[in-house]
Amino acid sequence: MELNPKILWDRCLDIIRDNISPEQFAATFAFVELHSFENGKLVLDVPSEFVKNLLEEKFLPLMGSTFKRVFGDSINSLYYNVKVVKTHKGGEVIEKAEIAPKVVNGTPRDDARKSPDDVTAPQVQDLDSQLLPHYRFDNYIEGESNRLARSVGESIANNPARTFNPFFVYGPSGCGKTHLINAIGLRIKELHPQMRVLYLSAHLFTVQYTDAVRQNKVNDFIRFYQTIDALILDDVQELSGKTQTQNTFFHIFNHLHVNGKQIILSADRPPIAIQGLEDRLLTRFKWGMQAEIEKPTQHLRLDILTAKVDKEGLNIPANVLRFIAENIDESVRDLEGIINSLMAYSVVYNCDINMKLVQKVMPRFVETTEHVTTIDDVKQYVCERFNLKIAQLDSRTRTQQIAYARQVAMYLSSELTDKSHVQIGVNIGNRNHATVIHAIKQIKDMMEVDERTRQDIDELMDILKAPRK
């Protein structure tokens, strides 16, 4: 007798629950529900894109093996229904979008590690490009650090092999290279559906080549790659020192380039700085366009955070986002990681995302140190909160907004620094100590009766007391 899919799904949850921590389960699978299971197609309801990404990034192997164990060979595909909440005047409307996964029957897509060959090369409509569908141009946030690379990338996507070929993009880990080259590939597929587009890492290319050598299928391996119209190779520095793999890629590169096929490459450094690279391959990498993506500026980091928060429908105060953008400056992945961690903590412990939570999570991403607050720190954050310039705070202007911000700055300086009233006055517009004493009393009185003032002081206190990188 065939078991009810709901019973099978409950068995899967039991197995998964036994293999991960209670916190991990509470933040992910506790929100996942069985939608349907028909004709080998398993469809799961997930509450957000965040949960869906978390499942695929952290638990894909566990899910694949569990589904195979419980559903057996009867399962051949897995899909998600991601609930997208859109707010209309009449209230909230839930829309569901079905998204294809990376796992089929418990194995990676198209058994990507297996060496491809021209005998079994699929038709263009069946070729799995291995592109990451969520890395698109429309969610690639532009800034000074990536503007050139993005502009060149869009030009290539519109006219493959007619502008810059090869295109070599480089920069430190986590700066957005993989996102950009995937976005180029997805746009090429969209605008030129007849083209065979393939993305893979240099490490995977090496594994495939080694497999082809072992099976005596190197010629088939090369001929398969010569059928590609747009080849995207990530982390080219992984080819360093692998002479035979480089020689094989050299022949593939030459064939594609001569035949007007687009080649897109990425690495963590420019070609000239990659040690162990064959000279003839280095020469070809330098033929086309090289574009550097630098570490994101603070402004771009804030834009990236804001976009992610908007996408996930989160409620994170602006001062918290600014604090994260100021202190996490190494990697876009770290920015996304801290937001994901904040979301998980918020779900598991049913708490708001605020500065206290950030202070708990932040040390996992950056080394933090105790910071001695100065009057200049106070002035900077007060001006950011009230959208003022420091010159306005120090001026003789007495408009309500500026006067209030000035009093807040004086109050916080008295609470968080060891400076005297005289020193505070001198550093904030060259006021006398009587003005500072009056300002402190005013803010204390307002905090007793005005919620907005209490909130301003509390949030600024949290930021100024927080450890910094």
Q: What values do phi and psi take at 102, rounded to 5? A: -100, -5
**CATH of the structural domain 5-108, one choice from 3.20.20.70, 1.10.10.10, 3.30.750.24, 3.30.300.180:** 3.30.300.180
pLDDT band at 89 (very low <50, low <70, confident <90, very high): very low
pLDDT at 362: 72
Collapsing DSSP to helix, strand or coil, 13 comes out as helix
Domain ranges in the chain are 5-108, 112-292, 298-364, 375-465
Helix runs in 314-432, H state only: 318-327, 332-349, 355-361, 375-385, 390-394, 400-416, 421-427
Q: Look at residue 90 and tell me whether its pLDDT is greater than 50.
A: no
Comparing CA positions, the residue from 109, 282, 283 lying closest to residue 198 is 109
* Side-chain half-sphere CA neighbours of 141 within 13 A: 16
Whether residue 51 contacts residue 32, with contact meaning beta carbons closer than 8 Å, is answered with: yes
Superfamily of domain 375-465: DnaA protein, C-terminal DNA-binding domain (1.10.1750.10)
pLDDT at 453: 92
Yes or no: is domain 298-364 CATH 1.10.3470?
no
pLDDT at 232: 95
339/239 Cα distance (integer angstroms): 33
Tell me whether residue 160 is exposed, middle or buried, using C-beta atoms within 10 angstroms of its C-beta: 0 to 12, 13 to 18, 19 or more: buried
| Tokens of residue 101, six digits | 């996964």
* Side-chain half-sphere CA neighbours of 60 within 13 A: 15
Residues in the chain: 469
310/68 Cα distance (integer angstroms): 36
66-79 average pLDDT score: 81
Q: Do domains 5-108 and 298-364 have the same CATH topology?
A: no
39-44 average pLDDT score: 86
pLDDT at 86: 45
101-125 average pLDDT score: 52
- Other CB atoms within a 10 A radius of the CB of residue 250 amount to 14
289-305 average pLDDT score: 86
pLDDT at 138: 87
Specify the higher pLDDT residue, 310 or 119: 310
102-129 average pLDDT score: 55
pLDDT at 340: 77
Name which CATH class applies to 112-292.
Answer: alpha beta
Q: What percent of the chain has pLDDT over 70?
A: 86
- The residue whose two tokens read 């991601």 is 82
Q: Look at residue 94 and tell me whether its pLDDT is greater than 60.
A: no
Q: Is the dihedral of CA 72, 75, 77, 80 positive or negative?
A: negative
pLDDT at 102: 46
pLDDT at 421: 92
pLDDT at 71: 81
409/393 Cα distance (integer angstroms): 9
228-240 average pLDDT score: 92
Q: 46-50, 89-93, 292-296, 458-462: which range is least confident on average? A: 89-93
286-299 average pLDDT score: 86
pLDDT at 87: 41
Specify the higher pLDDT residue, 314 or 181: 181
Comparing CA positions, the residue from 365, 374, 356 lying closest to residue 412 is 374
pLDDT at 125: 59
What lies within 8 Å, CB to CB, of 113 at 6+ separation is 204, 207, 208, 211
3-class SS letters over 209-278: HHHHHHCCCHHHHHHHHCCCCEEEEECHHHHCCCHHHHHHHHHHHHHHHHCCCEEEEEECCCHHHCCCCC
Whether residue 152 contacts residue 180, with contact meaning beta carbons closer than 8 Å, is answered with: no
pLDDT at 459: 85
| Tokens of residue 243, six digits | 């002479």
268-286 average pLDDT score: 89
Specify the higher pLDDT residue, 185 or 311: 185
288-312 average pLDDT score: 84
Cα→Cα distances 123→192, 193, 267, Å: 15, 12, 30
Give the pLDDT confidence of 120-159 residue by residue, as tens digits. Answer: 555 665 678 888 888 899 888 888 888 999 999 999 999 9
In terms of phi and psi (left: phi > 0; alpha: psi -120 to 50; beta: otherwise), the region of 105 is: left
pLDDT band at 103 (very low <50, low <70, confident <90, very high): very low
Q: Look at residue 92 and tell me whether its pLDDT is greater than 80.
A: no
Q: What percent of the chain has pLDDT over 90?
A: 30
pLDDT band at 113 (very low <50, low <70, confident <90, very high): low
What's the pTM? 0.59
pLDDT band at 267 (very low <50, low <70, confident <90, very high): very high
